[in-house]
């Protein structure tokens, strides 16, 4: 049996792997500059941020350390409710640390505002956010995102860490799914 090619499930590509790689390189330069001489801790949100974290770290020229959180957000359907549960907490004490949250995508911003509130209570020296993708709704939330890879239209996308039912994270491009996938 031939291996199924998951790219056949895609409708249209929003960002190619080359576009993503170029943009990650630019973000890495900005982060390098902004955190020069500081001891940066990057906090990735599992599982979606796995690709952006690994590419960002390798594109950076200065020291950084990494830790991960896993959270689940309860919501009806495809929208998040802002009610969030921590499934895996940090192993690092972030008090007095310079912390950068690394996210795959911000949609409503509810998940992120919970996370910011939670991490701020641990009294880091600074707390900023980097997200690879941002949707229009996120612009109306109170969460201040310092670094944004791309603003994208309000469509459900997969690839580059982003999943549908746990799948498609391994796609290099970022794309919408063909209607037959949802059936």
Instruction: List the catalytic residues.
Output: 107
Q: Does 48 bind Mg ion (CB under 5 A)?
A: yes
Is the preceding peptide bond at 47 cis, omega within 30 degrees of 0? yes
**In whole angstroms, how close is the CB of 87 to ligand 5GP at the nearest point?**
13
Per-residue interface string for the shown chain with ligand 5GP, residues 61-80, x marking contact by CB under 6 A: ------------x------x
Write out the chain in H/E/C secondary structure.
CCCCCHHHHEEEEEECHHHHHHHHHHHHHHHHHHCCCCCEEEEEEECCCHHHHHHHHHHCCCCCEEEEEEEEEECCCCCCCCEEEEEECCCCCCCCCEEEEEEEEECCCHHHHHHHHHHHCCCCCEEEEEEEEECHHHHHCCCCCCEEEEECCCCCEEECCECECCECCCCCCEEEECHHHHC
**Residue 64 vs 130, nearer CB to Mg ion:** 130
Q: Show the tokens assigned to 153.
A: 């239209």
Give least dist CB 114 to Mg ion, A. 12
Closer residue to ligand 5GP (CB): 35 or 173: 173
| Site stretch for ligand 5GP (CB under 6 A), options 19-27, 53-61, 100-108, 117-125 | 100-108
From the list 8-16, 36-44, 58-66, 155-163, the region that binds ligand 5GP by CB under 6 A is 155-163
Task: Taking each helix axis as running N to C, give the angle between helix 17-34 and helix 50-59, from 0 to 180 degrees, rounded to the nearest 10.
Answer: 60
Q: Out of 95, 156, 167, 170, point to the residue binding ligand 5GP (CB under 6 A).
A: 156
- 107 contacts Mg ion (rule: CB under 5 A): no
Using rule CB under 6 A, residue 124 touches ligand 5GP: no
Binding span for Mg ion by CB under 5 A among 2-10, 90-98, 133-141, 157-165: 157-165
What residues make contact with ligand 5GP under the rule CB under 6 A?
48, 73, 80, 103-112, 156-158, 162-164
């Amino acid at each position: 049996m031939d291996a199924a090619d998951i790219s056949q499930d895609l409708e249209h590509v929003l960002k190619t792997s080359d576009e993503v790689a170029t943009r990650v390189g630019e973000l890495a330069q900005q982060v390098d500059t902004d955190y020069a001489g500081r001891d940066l801790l990057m906090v990735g949100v599992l599982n979606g941020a796995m690709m952006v974290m690994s590419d960002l770290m390798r594109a950076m020229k200065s020291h950084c350390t990494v830790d991960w959180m896993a959270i689940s957000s309860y919501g009806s359907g495809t929208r998040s409710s802002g009610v969030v549960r921590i499934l895996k907490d940090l192993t690092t004490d972030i008090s007095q640390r310079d912390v950068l949250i690394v996210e795959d995508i911000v949609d409503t911003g509810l998940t992120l505002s919970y996370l910011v509130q939670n991490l701020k209570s641990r009294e880091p020296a600074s707390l900023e956010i980097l997200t690879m993708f941002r949707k229009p709704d996120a612009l109306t939330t109170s969460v201040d995102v310092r670094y944004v890879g791309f603003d994208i239209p309000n469509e459900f996308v997969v690839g580059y860490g982003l999943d549908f039912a746990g799948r498609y994270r391994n796609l290099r491009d970022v794309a919408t799914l063909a209607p037959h996938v949802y059936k």
